[in-house]
Amino acid sequence: MCGITGWIDFTRDLTTEHAAVQAMTDTLAARGPDAGGVWLDRHAALGHRRLSVIDLEHGAQPMLTPERGPGGRPRAVISYGGEIYNFRELREELALLGHRFATRSDTEVALRAYLQWGTDFVHRLNGMYAIALWDTAREELLLVRDRLGVKPLFYYPADDGLLFGSEPKAILAHPLARAEAGAEELCDALLFLRTPGRVPFRGMREVKPGHLVRAGRDGVKEERYWALEARPHTDDLPTTVARVRELLDDIVPRQMVADVPLVSLLSGGLDSSTVTALAARARAAGGERLTTFSVDFTGHTENFRADAIRPTPDGPYALEAARHAGTDHHAVVLDRARLLDPAVRRTVLRAWDLPFNFADLDVSLYLLFAAVRRHATVALSGEGADEVFGGYLWFSDPQARSAETFPWLKLGAHRGLDPRSLFHPWFVDGIGLAEYEADLYRTALAEVPRLEGESPDERRTRELGHLTLTRWLPVLLDKKDRMGMANGLEGRVPFCDHRLVEYVFNVPWEMKTFDGREKALLREAAAGLLPESVLRRKKAAYPSIQDPAYDRALITGLAAAADDGGAPLSPFLGAGAVRRMTTRTTNGSLSEFERILVESTVRLDDWLRTYGVELTHVKGAH
């Protein structure tokens, strides 16, 4: 997995800047607790923190080619994080082409693939990765991010080069970077979506999924190397089901390659249970037993209250799926005190670096991963299945389908998740939130590929799928990455294999829901793997604590931000709206969406305060 960072500057000698690059590298120690390294050249400096997963004894980074370039320097140097799942096949191909290898690592495969194919090497990679590669002959830095954006990579252009890092904290550790935000950055922070490339720190960018960035003496250029395409789907239903199963049968074992302990996360839902069942079969073929983990809350199953997005508790289904697959299952049980622990919540904010959050789901995921990390270094999970197979309510809800905005924002607004509701209207209007949201939506729609002959309804379904994969999934992948890597735990997401995504993206909606149920195509592909109860189970969201006392604690934090004249958000929060929310918790619990709204507002205030973000050109700011 690892953390990468670095700096290029064509006006100074970076061989004298070890302290600055080391400081950037040190911020990523949690991502790479096993080792670290820094490489300095006249105009380029790369840093690396390693989480050892493959070839534990070798594969140290930054990795240098033995071939020499100008002035006797290495031909190329790489700092890389992630996993290339087809590295063995690529290694064999490169060996036939004359390349010699000193390690068994996928890092060396990526480096030599670049030497062989140049930037075209990205088309040959199957995996999740963030790559920084300095070409000494060209004096050019190449930044590459995987197709779906599973692994993060940020950069900060400067006058004569740029800074980059796996997380914003690495960039912010450098004196050239400033923590600033204006109206657009506040809009990004308030909207529940991720716009490719945009970051709520002014001047900072994120390498877009499926893109590479070149930085050289002539400036910074961004290039797209992959995007979803609209193609006619000619397979019938049995062939489509067989193809999905064939892909999953290849993807899951391929993503289990590791020289360290690996486990699977198991909620008892269709997605994680399918991954777990396939992983358990692969382990059993080698005479081993798979270990699985789930998260629960004290008294949750006994006192469970069903709602629209959680019709059933996870606990009983996780146990049944584990018994059926024959795994060694562990439930990590959390309580209110742990979820509200200030130290834990500060760690979660520092792990994100950004003002995004999923209420208690962030904190519980972090605590789950902390428990898992005591047993393993790698964890499989089911993220991506709802996005790929259309599991969300907004794919079928008439209001969401007809919305002239992102469908989850439309549904959320009707359920209490409206970022405008806690702020003064003059603030919302002043930063232009409505216009900004509309502009982002228009831009996102313009990216959706078209297929000639599609009906308006089919076209809308394709739009919803593309919006979900490109603007919603990135938030979930961010959450999984940050909470996992804060514990030095690598998360792998088989449903985000680009081959599966490309294939299912073009399967007609009628085929994806051929029996009237959400994700019917995946259910049919998983038939025979799962117990019938799990196979039939209706989608349930990741579990959330159901405790009125937890909600009252949240409101205390919101009220503190509103009443503290020195708090960054205090000038903008509406006192009446805060009082109404306080009344809601006095009389009972917040809804799921109200809780996310409150936590998001408190998180934004904490983020502004913790990172010392300077608000520029924002009316009413301190």
Residue 106, both tokens = 């996928």
Helices (H), 174-269: 183-190, 237-254
User: Has 2 been annotated as catalytic?
Assistant: yes
* Among 1, 2, 110, 489, the one annotated catalytic: 2
Taking CB atoms within 8 Å and a gap of at least 24, the contacts of 85-90 are 85/126, 85/127, 85/254, 85/255, 85/257, 85/497, 86/124, 86/125, 86/126, 86/127, 86/254, 87/127, 88/257, 90/124, 90/125
- CA nearest to 590, candidates 416, 363, 356, 341: 416
- The span from the CA of 460 to the CA of 467, in Å, is 10
Q: What's the CA gap between 362 and 250, in Å, rounded?
A: 31
Judge contact between 444 and 471, C-beta under 8 A: yes
What distance in Å separates the CA atoms of residue 199 and residue 181, rounded to the nearest whole number? Answer: 10
DSSP 8-state assignment for residue 207: P
Please give, one letter per residue, the 3-state secondary structure of 305-320: CCCCCCCCCCHHHHHH
**Rama region for 399: left / alpha / beta (φ>0; ψ in -120 to 50; rest):** alpha
SS3 call for 519: coil
Contact 197, 206 (CB under 8 A): yes
Residue spans of alpha helices (H) in 494-614: 498-505, 509-512, 520-525, 532-536, 548-563, 575-587, 592-610
Cα 396 to its chain centre, rounded Å, is: 25
Query: What's the first-to-final CA gap in the chain, in angstroms?
Result: 40
Rg (CA), the chain: 24
- Phi, psi (5° rounding) for residue 305? -120, 115
Helices 183-190 and 592-610: angle between axes, nearest 10 degrees: 140
**374 burial type by CB count under 10 A (0-12 exposed, 13-18 middle, 19+ buried):** exposed
Q: Which residues pair with 264 in a beta bridge?
A: 292, 380
Element containing residue 399 per DSSP (H, E): helix 398-402
Q: What residues act catalytically?
A: 2
